[in-house]
């Protein structure tokens, strides 16, 4: 009956994705059915680690994260875990040969969130983004290319640029929450109390460049099973950035930009038309 337990584990990862992120869930639904479960499994793992460091303030977060890491490697070694999220994730790791380096880099960035208050240098900033976002994109890319190492190597750089763009948009959108509630500042050498229009424009231009490279050199070349789902996520985040771009720098800390559900449906419909007309 191990198959039943595995099925329940996969369902748990899917539930975590749907409850925590309706936008990401919408994008995953646009992927081919053959790869959706594995992307849910990846999301469930990174979501739980992120929850430990971002929301479990009344608990011993360091110990919880260390136990989570130990439990994951036990799950990988044994091929099973009674934690359904770890059980499903280790299945995906084994199936697609996801390298330990990617998992370790992600967990290292989560550990950094336990202590790091702000990122003073670009090197620190880039390292954090690589671990917190780029490697998640690379885990998903492993699934998308289904073992095609040449295709993985070709798309690795653009996948990292897309992951970086997503994370930087999140940073810009969540400036107030990160700074006031979590005591974090991710953008290097930036005084959040005196964010001016020029500084904001530099950040936006950097994100737009990441998006452009990711679309031109990555999304357009993805396998058909993944192309539309990733394109939907790309369109969603570009829309967020467009809205953030319109917010005056002096108001960015007081504004929580979001995409309404009707707008999400509109984005989906327009994106689908472009996809079917081979415009992407």
Calculate the alpha carbon distances from 135 to 167, 182, 226, 243 in Å. Answer: 12, 23, 17, 27
CB 197, CB 137: distance < 8 Å: no
| pLDDT tens sequence across 55-75 | 999 999 999 999 999 999 999
Please give the Cα distance from 127 to 239 (Å, whole number): 26
> In 3D, which of 178, 50, 184 has the Cα closest to residue 106?
50
DSSP string, 44-59: HHHHHHHHHHHH-TTS
Looking at the structure of the chain, the number of domains it has is 1
What is residue 174's DSSP assignment? T
CA distances from 12 to 21, 31, 84, 96, 182 (A): 14, 19, 7, 20, 28
CATH, residue 233: 1.10.600.10
- This prediction has a pTM of 0.91
Confidence of residue 178 (pLDDT cuts 50, 70, 90): low
Contact between residue 214 and residue 162 where contact means Cβ atoms under 8 Å apart: yes
For 5-50, how does the pLDDT look when each residue is reduced to its tens digit (9 = 90+)?
A: 999 999 999 999 999 998 899 899 999 999 999 999 999 999 999 9
**pLDDT for res 12:** 98
Rounded to an integer, the average pLDDT of 125-150 is 95
Closest CA relative to residue 257, chosen from 186, 181, 172, 195: 172
Q: What six digits make up the tokens of 63?
A: 């110990």
Q: What's the Cα-to-Cα distance from 153 to each of 118, 159, 222, 223, rounded to whole Å? A: 32, 10, 12, 14
Give me the phi and psi of 118, to 5 degrees please: -150, 165
What is the percent of the chain with per-residue pLDDT over 90, rounded to a whole number?
67
Whether the per-residue pLDDT at 211 is higher than 70: the answer is: yes
**The domain containing residue 96 runs over which residues?**
2-276
Q: Is 195 helix (H, G, I), strand (E, B) or coil?
A: coil
- The mean of the pLDDT values for the chain is 89
pLDDT for 59 equals 96
Percent helix, strand and coil across the chain, each rounded to 5?
A: 80, 0, 20
Q: Which residues contact 128 (CB under 8 A, 6 or more apart)?
A: 109, 112, 116, 119, 186
For tokens 């936006």, the residue is: 204
Q: What is the pLDDT of residue 229?
A: 95
What are the two backbone dihedrals, phi and then psi, of residue 185, each rounded to the nearest 5 degrees?
Answer: -135, 115
């Amino acid at each position: 009956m191990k198959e039943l337990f595995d099925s329940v584990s996969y369902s748990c990862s899917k539930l975590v994705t749907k409850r925590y992120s309706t936008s990401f869930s919408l994008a995953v639904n646009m992927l081919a059915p053959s790869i959706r479960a594995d992307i849910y499994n990846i999301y469930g793992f990174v979501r739980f680690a992120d929850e430990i460091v971002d929301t479990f303030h009344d608990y011993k977060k360091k110990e919880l994260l260390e136990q989570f890491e130990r439990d994951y490697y036990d799950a990988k070694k044994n091929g099973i875990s009674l934690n359904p999220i770890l059980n499903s994730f280790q299945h995906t790791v084994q199936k697609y040969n996801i390298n330990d380096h990617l998992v370790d880099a992600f967990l290292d960035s989560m550990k950094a969130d336990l202590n790091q208050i702000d990122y003073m240098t670009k090197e620190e900033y880039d390292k954090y983004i690589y671990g917190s976002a780029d490697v998640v994109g690379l885990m998903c890319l492993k699934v998308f290319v289904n073992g095609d190492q040449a295709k993985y190597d070709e798309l690795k750089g653009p996948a990292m640029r897309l992951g970086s763009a997503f994370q930087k948009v999140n940073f810009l959108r969540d400036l107030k929450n990160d700074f006031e509630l979590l005591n974090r500042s991710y953008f290097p050498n930036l005084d959040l109390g005196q964010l001016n229009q020029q500084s904001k424009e530099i950040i936006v231009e950097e994100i737009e460049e990441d998006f452009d490279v990711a679309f031109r050199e990555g999304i357009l070349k993805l396998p058909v099973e993944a192309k539309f789902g990733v394109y939907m996520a790309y369109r969603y985040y570009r829309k967020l950035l467009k809205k953030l771009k319109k917010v005056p720098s002096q108001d960015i800390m007081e504004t929580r930009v979001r995409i309404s559900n009707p707008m999400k449906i509109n984005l989906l419909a327009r994106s689908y038309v472009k996809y079917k007309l081979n415009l992407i």
